[in-house]
Amino acid sequence: MSNATEDPPAAAVEINLEAEFAASNIQEVFDKLERELVGLVPVKTRIREIAAMLLVERLRKRLGLTTETPTLHMSFTGNPGTGKTTVALRMADILHRLGYIRQGHLVSVTRDDLVGQYIGHTAPKTKEVVKRAMGGVLFIDEAYYLYRPENERDYGQEAIEILLQVMENNRDDLVVILAGYADRMESFFHSNPGFRSRIAHHVDFPDYGRDELLAIGKLMLDRQNYRLSPGAETAFGAYIERRMKRPHFANARSVRNALDRARLRQANRLFAAMGQPLSRDALMTIEEQDIRASRVFLGAPKDKGAA
């Protein structure tokens, strides 16, 4: 703090935010984010803000304006399949490029990895995980399971205490990201106010619309060297519309599962047509009938995770 009032170092060093931005290669990450993640506007905005803040922070440090390291612990809330884990992975990469974390690896854990089964088992287990995450990002999926109010002798509380301590004392060493469904995270934070105050960024992941899901589906297929025939594309659009209305809809995850089943049917169709010559094109294309065969189109609302 005291340094901030001192004169800036000799001859007001030329500050070139643009050059700094180019040097950090961060644009590359943004482009990749834009290319591979459909929608998610509030999330992307927040990532840009954080990146800008860290970049400015770096410049300030170079000019001798001391500041405290910003807290970057985050909480990602959103429905299943909205890309929380994917973004967490990207986050590790971004923070690494900005020099905020040293290694840039992601350690993804759930309650099982943190909480032990008997007295005295939890602390070493949690500490082991924390040590592994040092220099990177610790991603705790479905974090609300850590706290079980119905059982007052639950060991989850012990893990929470250690995590809180680490989030405070090792701020320079790791970034903790909690993820989970919005309503349950809300009650989790409500019963653990220490967590809420230690987390600087609460990012909400919105649900996808029909067109976004279609774009995601096409992106997934593209990555596996498949494509939809024009007929299949309209069919898939109709499929998504119907699937969205059904229970247990899990956004991008449902799309992925649907496409996996379509690939299954495509393989089956090609198999049934044995004897005819197969073109490279035929191996890559998913036809309308592969999509239309789905149980979602049968209309009967007999749901079993939807086939």
Footprint on this chain of other proteins (rule: CB under 8 A):
102-103, 105, 127, 130-136, 170, 173-174
Q: Is the CB of 137 or the CB of 306 nearer to other proteins?
A: 137
* Minimum separation from the CB atom of position 155 to other proteins (A): 21
E-strand ranges in 126-256 read 137-141, 175-180, 201-205, 227-228
Identity of the residue numbered 224: Q
Minimum separation from the CB atom of position 134 to other proteins (A): 4
Q: Give the nearer residue to other proteins in terms of CB position, either 129 or 203.
A: 129
In the bound complex, what is the minimum distance in angstroms from residue 109's beta carbon to other proteins? 13
Residue whose CB is less far from other proteins, 101 or 232: 101
CB of 135 to other proteins, least distance (A): 3
Rounded Cα distance, 150 and 165, in Å: 24
CB 93, min distance to other proteins, A: 15
Nearer to other proteins by Cβ, of 104 and 194: the residue is: 104
Q: State whether residue 108 is helix, strand or coil.
A: strand
Consecutive H or E run containing 114: helix 111-114
Packing angle, helices 84-97 and 26-36, rounded to 10: 170
For 141, phi and psi rounded to 5 degrees?
A: -80, 140
| Structure-token pair, residue 218 | 């096409």
Q: Is there a contact between 217 and 237 (Cβ–Cβ < 8 Å)?
A: no
Rounded CA-CA distance 146/188 in Å is: 9
Pick the closer one to other proteins by CB: 173 or 204: 173
